[in-house]
Every structure is written in C-alpha cells, then in structure tokens.
Chain A
Amino acid sequence: MSHPATTGPKLRLDAVRKTFTVPRSGAEVVAVETADLAIEAGEFLTIVGPSGCGKSTILNMLAGLELPTGGTVAMDGRKITGPAAERGMVFQDYALFPWKTVFENIEFGLRYGPHGKGLSTAERRSRVARCVELVGLGGSEQKYPHELSGGMRQRCGIARLVANEPDVLLMDEPFAALDAQTRIILQEELLRIWGETGDRAERRTVVFITHAIDEAVFLSDRVVVMSAHPGRIIEILDVDLPRPRTDATRTRPEFQALSQTIWNLIRDEVYRAATAAGSAGGAGD
C-alpha cells in the first residue's frame, strides 16, 4: 500500500459545486452546493441523506466519473480529473460483467488494468483465488452472475474491487438492494475485509453511501449528513463506538442515540419528500 509523502487528507473536496442542465428546458439544477470535506487515510466515512441530496454525485466525483462544476476534488493533494484504479467502486446494482464468470469478473481489473501489470498469470490467479475465499465465494468461481443471489453478486462486486487493490474504496449504496438479513451479514463481513481487527495503518480509505442510518452508524468512523434541494452537507458526526463492531454494537445506547440524532437532522426533509412524492423532480442523488 502506497503512503503519500504529504500528511494531508487522503481525499479532499474544496468548495465543490455541481450543477446539471436539464435537457430541453435548459433549467439549471444544483446537485451539490459548495461542499467542503476532508477524508483521512484509512478512515471509514459514510455519507447519508435523503434521495436527491447529491451523495452519489459526490461519490462519482471522487471516482472521477463526474467532474465538479466548481471547486476541486483531490486525492493526495492531486486534482482528480478522471477515473483511475486507485479509486475503485462498488455499485448498488453490482455492475458485474454478465458474460464473465465470477472468477473472470474478479480478475478483470488485474487482467486489463494497470494494477495487474508485472503480475504473472499464476500470481494473478492466486490473488483472485485469495479474494474469492476472502468474500466467501469458494465453489462459485465458475458460475455466471445471473446464477447468483443478490448477496453473492455483491460479494463478487466487492471481491472485484479488493482484488484490484485500490487505495480508496468507493461504495455506492452497495447493500441497498439486498434483504435485511443479508445486509447485516455483509456489513460485518465488509468490516472484516476492510481490516477492522487488524492494524489501523493497514486499512484502506472507504467512502460509503447509504440512506440507511443504522448502516451508516454501524460501519463508520464518521458520518456525513446531507440534505437535499440543493444538496449540501449539514453535519459531520464522529462515531465513537469501539471496534470490532458486532451485534452487541447495535444495542448500545450510543448507537441508538447517534442514529436518533441523524434521523432528527433529516426527518423533516424525508417527510416532506414522502408527502410530495411525484410532484418534484429530483436532481438524481
């Protein structure tokens, strides 16, 4: 794992603004309004907020898939101008390659991207095999994505990301499409894969998007709360819960209190959005 020479934050948003022009009408929609955020190396940071708050837009800008309209997004002090293998992503809808097997999906980044350069075929294969085991997909290597359950597909998505060994892991509501039980299991496994029990310096930086408050609190070191119309950061909260986090974590009073605090921050807006559903077009979150 590479360590930056500077001691600044791993990722930084500096007065970031993102607007979209609506096709046809030409109207301008503000997706993100002047966001400032510094994300430390090895930190697990979660962004929560209602639909249309711009949380996914921020993640896409960190990935380099979208560029800000104003301000800068930087990694290790260098401006982000496009996607790169250092910033890998996991998608809500998995985005697995349907014509490739589980093994080939996980191998994809190493085979065609820069992080596999210099690896022999045998080294590459053994790294993929390790990742298959890491996410518990042993025995399913030769299956195609359509043969897997949602939970197993996302395990494959996570393994594809981890195998490529990015510096930063960007996760866009990865568990949103899964059932409640599978979610809980994958949350715990994600923390294990991230290295919760290991050395703090070995952990990668994670930016995780969700609209589930309990998920945000359970996983994170810090929670960024956003609000919509226009999308902006309204609060950044530290999560002082001991690691490793377990089932018992969820019953702790601090867990409940923090979840309640976050809920209070966004409750009015969620109710407004729920009752006005359909009347206003969101900016796409």
Chain B
Amino acid sequence: MSTTRWPRYFILPVALIVLWQLWGMTLPARSRAPVPLDVLASAVELVASGRLPMAILQSLGRVGLGFLVAGAIALVLGLLMGFFRPVERNLDPIIESFRPVAPIALLPLAILWLGTGTPAAVFIVAYAAFFPMIVNTIAGVKGVERRLVQAAQTLGVPQLTILRTVVLPAALPSIFVGVRVAMGLAWMSIIAAELAVGSKGGGGGSGGVGEMMFVFYAYYIELDSIVVCMIAVGLVALAIDHGLRWLQRWLMPWAEQYR
C-alpha cells in the first residue's frame, strides 16, 4: 500500500476513538468508564515500567511451548491417521469425543494436577491448539492428490518415505490453516487460563497477561489498564498471524499458483 493511501484506513478507527473520548467526557467521574486518553496514559506507564512487556513475554512463552507440544503430536498423529485407515478408525472416536470439551473446562483438573504455574497454563494451551491442528492435518492428508502418491509408489519409494516426502508437503497448505486457527485459540485460552489461575494471587500467582488483567480487575479496579491489556493481546495476535502468513509464503512459494 502506498503512503498516500494509508491514512484512509485510519479514518474510521480514529473517528470511533474520538467519539469514544467525547462520550467518556460526558460521564460523571465516578463511572470508572475507560476513555482513550486515560487508556493511553495507562499504556505508556505499563510499557515504560516494563510490566506489560514482561507479562506478554511470559504468556507468549507459554503459548509457544504449549503450541509446539500440541503441534508435534497433532502432526504425527494427523499424518498417520490421514494416511492409514486403521489408525484413523481407532483414534478418531477418542479425539472426536474430547474435541467438544472446552479447554477451560479442563482447568480444575490442570490446577489440581499441575498447580497454578506454567505447567497448567501450557497444558491448557496445548489442549486448545491440538484439535484444529489435527483436524486440518487429517483433512489435508486426505485431500492429497492420489496421483502424486501413486507417482512416488511407481518410482519404488517406500510408504513411510512417501508420507514424509509427498504427503507432508502436499498437505502443508491445509496444515497451515490449522496452525493459524490453533494459534488464535491458544492465545485466547492462555488469557482465560491465566485469568482463572490468577485468582490464586499472593505468592501462587500465574503471571502473564491474564493474571495482570485479573489483578487490575480484582484488586485495583483499573479498567484503563485492563483495556490496555486487551489491546495488547489483540495486537500480539495480529502480529503472530502476520508472521505465520509470511512463513507460509516463504515455505510454500508454489502453493498459491498450485491451489
């Protein structure tokens, strides 16, 4: 996009923020409604003090770890399930019966088994990220053109090598859809998990953006700071998705033309 055009994209958001500010100024002071200028001041303070960046880094670390665990399991299982029918017939009922169980519903178990620190949060993230990745991996493997597999078979390539050298790259575009959906869910559930675990504050706190939001809400009723956290969460998610899209284009330069 050219520099002469970009301001247009900001007309609507800026207008909305101005309206928000004007509306906020008509309210009585004790309403505690967050208004843009206060939010901005709060943001400057939270970033400058390093508290927000630290919290985001901590949450990101958990998302990354949980995501890697889930991705590794989903990739291997998904490839095998999509390629070998008996594997799918055996595992599919188990996976499909867990899929509708919301990650947050597992929180009591996670806290009971793993405590209120990082392991519980990572577990919740991994659980949330697992399903979109495995479902899309299986769909991707099943959608691989049969001719490509047959071409490799008639060159004498063994099945497991075909899985790695043909099925995996051919299914990659679909796998990546799962990765992007999973990343959104993982980020969503880390905040929820930290929010819930954060109530243990006073020594046993979980840390991360979620706990920060909980503390602002429960102990200080600082709505401005909570809005800052919300915006930060959104921006980080946006940045991650852009990163993933860039990775996709870099990994699969052939995919756009091919699909």
Let me know if A115 and B145 touch, CB within 8 A.
no
Let me know if B258 and A65 touch, CB within 8 A.
no
The A-contacting residues of B in range 206-259, CB under 8 angstroms, are 252-255, 257-258
Give A73-86 as 1s and 0s: 1 = Cβ < 8 Å from B's Cβ atoms.
00000000011111
Let me know if A109 and B145 touch, CB within 8 A.
no
Let me know if A87 and B148 touch, CB within 8 A.
no
Let me know if A112 and B151 touch, CB within 8 A.
no
A131 in the interface (beta carbon within 8 A): no
Out of A63, A99, A112, which one reaches B154, CB within 8 Å? A63
Out of A112, A164, A170, which one reaches B161, CB within 8 Å? A112
Answer whether A95 and B145 are a contact pair too, CB < 8 Å, given A65-B150, A112-B161: yes
Residues of chain A within 8 A of B145, CB atoms compared: 95
Answer whether A108 and B169 are a contact pair too, CB < 8 Å, given A95-B145, A98-B258: no
A71 in the interface (beta carbon within 8 A): no
Let me know if A99 and B147 touch, CB within 8 A.
no
Let me know if A91 and B147 touch, CB within 8 A.
yes
Let me know if B153 and A83 touch, CB within 8 A.
yes
**Chain A binding surface, main DSSP class:** loop
**Chain B binding surface, main DSSP class:** helix
Answer whether A95 and B157 are a contact pair too, CB < 8 Å, given A112-B165, A144-B254, A146-B257: no
Residues of chain A within 8 A of B169, CB atoms compared: 97, 99
Q: How far does the alpha carbon of A91 sit from the alpha carbon of B172 in the complex, in Å?
A: 23
A114 in the interface (beta carbon within 8 A): yes
Let me know if A87 and B154 touch, CB within 8 A.
yes
Q: How far does the alpha carbon of A250 sit from the alpha carbon of B153 in the complex, in Å?
A: 36
B156 in the interface (beta carbon within 8 A): yes
B29 in the interface (beta carbon within 8 A): no
Let me know if A113 and B155 touch, CB within 8 A.
yes
- Looking at the assembled complex, report how far the CB atom of A87 sits from the nearest CB atom of chain B, in whole angstroms: 6
Residues of chain A within 8 A of B157, CB atoms compared: 108-109, 112-113
Let me know if B152 and A112 touch, CB within 8 A.
yes
Residues of chain B within 8 A of A99, CB atoms compared: 169-170, 172, 252, 254-255, 258
Answer whether A88 and B154 are a contact pair too, CB < 8 Å, given A95-B145, A146-B258: yes
- Looking at the assembled complex, report how far the CB atom of B151 sits from the nearest CB atom of chain A, in whole angstroms: 4
Using CB atoms, name the residue of chain B closest to A98: B258
Using CB atoms, name the residue of chain B closest to A96: B151
Of listed A86, A97, A160, A164, residue having the most chain B CB within 10 A: A97
- Looking at the assembled complex, report how far the CB atom of B68 sits from the nearest CB atom of chain A, in whole angstroms: 24
Using CB atoms, name the residue of chain B closest to A88: B154
Q: How far does the alpha carbon of A161 sit from the alpha carbon of B152 in the complex, in Å?
A: 10
A89 in the interface (beta carbon within 8 A): yes
- Looking at the assembled complex, report how far the CB atom of B24 sits from the nearest CB atom of chain A, in whole angstroms: 53
Size of the B side of the interface (Cβ < 8 Å), in residues, is 24
- Looking at the assembled complex, report how far the CB atom of A171 sits from the nearest CB atom of chain B, in whole angstroms: 11
Using CB atoms, name the residue of chain A closest to B256: A146
Let me know if B155 and A160 touch, CB within 8 A.
yes
The B-contacting residues of A in range 34-88, CB under 8 angstroms, are 63-65, 82-88
Let me know if B155 and A88 touch, CB within 8 A.
yes
Let me know if B154 and A114 touch, CB within 8 A.
no
Residues of chain B within 8 A of A109, CB atoms compared: 155-157
Of listed B170, B172, B254, residue having the most chain A CB within 10 A: B254
The B-contacting residues of A in range 110-167, CB under 8 angstroms, are 112-115, 144, 146, 160-161, 164
Using CB atoms, name the residue of chain B closest to A84: B156
A196 in the interface (beta carbon within 8 A): no
Let me know if B254 and A146 touch, CB within 8 A.
yes
Q: How far does the alpha carbon of A251 sit from the alpha carbon of B119 in the complex, in Å?
A: 80
A189 in the interface (beta carbon within 8 A): no
The A-contacting residues of B in range 143-189, CB under 8 angstroms, are 145, 147-148, 150-158, 161, 165-166, 169-170, 172
- Looking at the assembled complex, report how far the CB atom of B157 sits from the nearest CB atom of chain A, in whole angstroms: 5
Answer whether A95 and B150 are a contact pair too, CB < 8 Å, given A85-B156, A112-B155: yes
Out of A91, A97, A146, A164, which one reaches B156, CB within 8 Å? A164
Using CB atoms, name the residue of chain B closest to A82: B153
A93 in the interface (beta carbon within 8 A): yes
Out of B151, B255, B258, which one reaches A91, CB within 8 Å? B151
- Looking at the assembled complex, report how far the CB atom of A72 sits from the nearest CB atom of chain B, in whole angstroms: 20
Q: How far does the alpha carbon of A115 sit from the alpha carbon of B255 in the complex, in Å?
A: 30
Give B32-50 as 1s and 0s: 1 = Cβ < 8 Å from A's Cβ atoms.
0000000000000000000
Apart from A98-B257, A99-B169, 9 more pairs, CB < 8 Å:
A64-B154, A84-B156, A85-B154, A91-B147, A91-B150, A91-B151, A97-B170, A99-B258, A113-B155
Interface pairs A-B: 9 shortest CB-CB: A85-B156, A109-B155, A113-B156, A83-B153, A95-B147, A89-B154, A95-B151, A98-B258, A146-B257
Residues of B participating in the A interface, judged by any CB pair closer than 8 Å: 145, 147-148, 150-158, 161, 165-166, 169-170, 172, 252-255, 257-258
Residues of A participating in the B interface, judged by any CB pair closer than 8 Å: 63-65, 82-89, 91, 93, 95-99, 108-109, 112-115, 144, 146, 160-161, 164, 170
